[in-house]
């Protein structure tokens, strides 16, 4: 039986946290660390309701994802590419049938008393010609091009936050509806051939910045409130010489820099109408598949580098893995040579792109780093059998919690 503890509308669409009856938050007296992770799970379907149907059966894919989570056992985790459905049915099924059942190659059953999920822009029709082909909508995969974020049905490639600690959903903020043009110094994509704006002004003024959404989810940890800042910017590819996806990816990442930087920001308004960034002194953790490597692949690398170097973001050793290094070196031997450290890659994106670092867990200053890693075992490791459920690998960080006075 499920017991809803918080359920509130965001412009008539639900964002919620839930708690399992009989599974109250564990005692955290004397807790020393907070393990935080991000994992692009690839748990999506091209068909509306497809993920629910997959999870209702026996999904080998979901069992591998659950097994990795059971191995790593994060206290707080963002799942990217987990299809959103308003009822939360997919999240219920994944929790009950997969996480709460011991999986082959995994660890003990894993329960998360709290979760947060909300609508995303992917697959939501805009009613506009966003790809500039002279028509609205389309057939097959093309119909996703005119959605607010690329997707074949509303909720595809959504996000899900799972937590052992209570979530303050009433104070959560979502920025799904924020206009791209509201971002200071946002640059409309330009067609280099005609030297004209790719988007007509009437469309540019309506475009949403976030391809999925940006969430600030406050978590009540033993060391005080931590703001979990999560997103999944669009890949900086699948466009043309105007680089509209590259520009959007960079500005989706830049939104977090703006959110953390001082100064009055009357333009930075969430979906409930509250404006301004994150107050000085608040602790946070940025997490997600940000689709931008600091030095390799497509994308405007200055966007992620400037986020990594933001004064409120902790300077820390980059999470690493032996399996990622092994894969990156295999690609290098085949001629796909990257400049980034092989140990730092977080995903294998095939023979054209190779392995890159796209997934991040970035704590704020005010924490003490204890450990970190990427769950990517070497091919000879038995754990490799559960690590191929997605082209991305789970990234985790252990943080020292320092008690704060009430």
pLDDT in tens, 60-118: 999 999 999 999 999 999 999 999 999 999 999 999 999 999 999 998 999 999 999 99
Q: Are strands 355-356 and 359-363 parallel, antiparallel or unpaired?
A: unpaired
Question: Given this model, what pLDDT does residue 141 score?
Answer: 84
Residue 279: CB partners within 8 Å, gap ≥ 6? none
How many CB atoms are closer than 10 A to CB 361? 24
What average pLDDT does range 296-307 have in this prediction? 97
H or E segment at 303? helix 301-308
Query: What pTM did the predictor assign?
Result: 0.92
Q: In terms of C-beta density within 10 A (0-12 exposed, 13-18 middle, 19 or more buried), how is residue 224 classed? A: middle
Average pLDDT, the chain: 92
Closest CA to 291 of 184, 186, 149: 149
**What does the pLDDT look like over 151-171, one tens digit per residue?**
999 999 999 999 999 999 999
- Whether pLDDT at 378 is above 70: yes
Helix, strand, coil abundance in the chain, percent, nearest 5? 25, 25, 50
Q: Are 341 and 294 in contact (CB under 8 A)?
A: no
Structural domains of the chain in order of their starting residue, each with its CATH number? 2-120+155-400 (3.60.10.10)
Say how far apart CA 222 and CA 80 lie, in whole Å: 26
Q: In terms of C-beta density within 10 A (0-12 exposed, 13-18 middle, 19 or more buried), how is residue 107 classed? A: middle
Q: Are strands 359-363 and 283-289 parallel, antiparallel or unpaired?
A: antiparallel
Q: CA 276 → CA 71, 237, 255, 374, 384, distances in Å?
A: 39, 31, 12, 34, 44
**What does the pLDDT look like over 117-153, one tens digit per residue?**
999 999 999 999 999 999 998 888 888 999 999 999 9
């Amino acid at each position: 039986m499920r017991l809803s503890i918080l359920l509130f509308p965001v412009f008539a669409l639900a964002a919620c946290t839930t708690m399992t009856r009989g599974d109250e938050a564990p005692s955290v007296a004397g807790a020393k660390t907070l393990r935080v992770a991000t994992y692009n799970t690839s748990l999506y379907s091209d068909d509306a309701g497809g993920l629910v149907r997959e999870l209702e059966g026996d999904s080998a894919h979901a069992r591998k994802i659950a097994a990795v989570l059971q191995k790593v056992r994060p206290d707080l985790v963002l799942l990217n590419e987990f299809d959103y459905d308003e009822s939360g049915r997919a999240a219920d099924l994944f929790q009950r049938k997969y996480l709460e059942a011991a999986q082959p190659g995994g660890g003990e059953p894993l329960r998360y008393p709290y979760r947060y999920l909300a609508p995303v822009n992917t697959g939501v029709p805009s009613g506009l010609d966003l790809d500039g082909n002279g028509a609205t909508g389309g057939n097959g995969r093309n119909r996703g091009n005119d959605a607010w974020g690329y997707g074949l049905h509303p909720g595809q490639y959504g996000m899900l936050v799972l937590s052992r600690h209570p979530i303050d959903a009433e104070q959560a903020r979502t920025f799904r509806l924020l206009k791209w043009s509201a971002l200071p110094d946002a640059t409309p994509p330009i067609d280099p051939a005609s030297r004209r704006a790719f988007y007509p002004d009437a469309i540019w003024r309506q475009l949403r910045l976030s391809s999925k959404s940006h969430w600030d989810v406050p978590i009540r940890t033993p060391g005080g409130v931590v703001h979990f800042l999560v997103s999944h910017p669009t890949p900086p590819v699948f466009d043309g010489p105007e680089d509209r996806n590259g520009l959007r990816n960079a500005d989706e990442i830049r939104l977090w820099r703006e959110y953390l930087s001082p100064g009055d920001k009357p333009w930075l308004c969430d979906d409930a109408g509250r404006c301004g960034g994150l107050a000085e002194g608040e602790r946070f953790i940025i997490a997600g598949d940000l689709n931008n490597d600091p030095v390799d692949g497509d994308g405007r690398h200055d966007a992620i580098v400037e986020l990594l170097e933001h004064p409120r973001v902790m300077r820390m050793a980059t999470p690493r893995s032996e399996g990622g290094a092994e894969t990156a070196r295999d690609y290098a031997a085949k001629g796909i040579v990257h400049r980034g450290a092989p140990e730092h890659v977080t995903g294998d994106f095939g023979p054209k792109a190779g392995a890159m670092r796209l997934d991040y867990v970035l704590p704020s200053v005010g924490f003490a780093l204890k450990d970190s890693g990427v769950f990517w075992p070497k091919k000879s490791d038995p754990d490799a059998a559960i690590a191929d459920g997605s082209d991305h690998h789970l990234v985790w960080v252990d943080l020292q919690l320092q008690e704060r006075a009430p």
